[in-house]
Amino acid sequence: MSGFKAFILRGNVVDMAVGVVVGAAFGAVVTGLVKDLITPLIAAVVGKPDFSAIAFTINGSHFLIGEFINAGVSFLLVSTAIYFFVVLPVNTLTTRFQPPPPPTTMKCPECLSEVPIGARRCAFCTSALGAS
């Protein structure tokens, strides 16, 4: 496990290349999730979500606004899937496994008041505190 930790914390070109390759493979997984599971689920609820037929022509120029809408919907679905299936779980795990922050205060042994760790005397009862 220490070798894996050293690998993760190292910041060189090989690690970056591995990240790009894994990211591309994961991108295919997320795209498949959206295309094969989420989009058909939406289609089952609201009808077929395909806007590619929406287009208009001005002075012989054909504007495929439906393709743009499809790309926008696809982007929203992919980013939503990435957030809920990657970012949220990783943030939860990161928070769960972080060590707690070191304490900044301690209890005075005489009056049990909260005093800063570096204090040599209690601000409330003026008793001498042990070296910290």
Q: Are residues 78 and 128 both part of a single domain? A: no
Q: Are residues 39 and 79 both part of a single domain? A: yes
Q: Are residues 48 and 9 both part of a single domain? A: yes
Q: Are residues 27 and 85 both part of a single domain? A: yes
Predicted local distance difference test score (pLDDT) of residue 132: 46
- Is the model's pLDDT at 48 over the cut of 50? yes
Q: Are residues 38 and 72 both part of a single domain? A: yes
H helices present in 11-87, as ranges: 13-33, 39-46, 65-82
Given the structure tokens 């929203």, which residue do they identify? 76
* Mean residue pLDDT across the chain: 81
Q: Are residues 39 and 75 both part of a single domain? A: yes
- The per-residue pLDDT for range 23-43, each reduced to its tens digit, is 888 878 877 877 777 777 777
Q: Are residues 107 and 92 both part of a single domain? A: no
Q: What's the number of domains the chain is made of?
A: 2
Q: Which domain holds residue 109?
A: 102-132
- CA dist 25 and 16 (Å) reads 14
Predicted local distance difference test score (pLDDT) of residue 26: 81
- The per-residue pLDDT for range 63-88, each reduced to its tens digit, is 888 788 777 877 888 788 888 888 89
- CA dist 38 and 44 (Å) reads 10
- Provide the whole-model pTM: 0.51
Q: Residue 66: what residue type?
A: G
- Residue 101 DSSP code: P
Q: Are residues 27 and 59 both part of a single domain? A: yes
Between the CA of residue 45 and those of 17, 34, 53, what are the distances in Å? 41, 15, 20
